[in-house]
Amino acid sequence: MRYTIPIALMTFAGHLLAGGFWLQLGNPEASPEARKAHAVLTIQAVGCHDPATAQVRATAIGIVDGRRQEIPLKVTPLAGAGRFAISRQWPAAGRWVIQLTGTNGEQFTNSLVPATADGVDRAHARADMKHFTPSDVAAMLE
């Protein structure tokens, strides 16, 4: 009887930590296929799910000459389940953030990645399993 509570807690903790769904950002230079697509970012859908059914959308959100702009980006599927690439599709001028949204059935994740005319800054990206607010995006654009 004295072991029931610790075992129950460990089981519950395992369920909380199991599964999940997130987008792993990668270096396109590591993939000949991504380089051929002129990618500046690769994405791998990871977690306990079927990566073949993962969907990724991307939007460039920017401030150019004081005006906010949003540009839907083409996400290119790569070989291998749940692998994608994005090429630079936003103007050189202004400050930009790429908002990635991943879904897989009922699972959701999203990432914000700073972007420039030269590429993306994976080191300062943010990820969460809840939607980012407009103030989250604005803070990254500052």
Instruction: Count up the domains in the chain and report the number.
Output: 1
Residue 56 lies in a domain: yes
Residue 11 lies in a domain: no
Residue 112 lies in a domain: yes
Q: How confident is the model at residue 115 (pLDDT cuts 50, 70, 90)?
A: very high
CATH of residue 76's domain is: 2.60.40
Separation of alpha carbons 85 and 78, rounded Å: 7
- Sort residue 135 into left (φ over 0), alpha (ψ -120 to 50) or beta: alpha
Given a contact cutoff of 8 angstroms between Cβ atoms, the answer to whether 47 and 21 are in contact is: yes
Separation of alpha carbons 33 and 102, rounded Å: 21
Q: How confident is the model at residue 11 (pLDDT cuts 50, 70, 90)?
A: very low
77: domain range? 19-141
Q: How confident is the model at residue 19 (pLDDT cuts 50, 70, 90)?
A: low
Whether pTM exceeds 0.85: no
Closest CA to 31 of 98, 109, 75, 86: 86
Residue 37 lies in a domain: yes
Residue 30 lies in a domain: yes
Residue 126 lies in a domain: yes
* DSSP assigned state of 27: -
* Range of lowest pLDDT (1-15, 66-80, 93-107): 1-15
Report the chain's mean pLDDT, rounded to a whole number.
87
The per-residue pLDDT for 49 is: 75
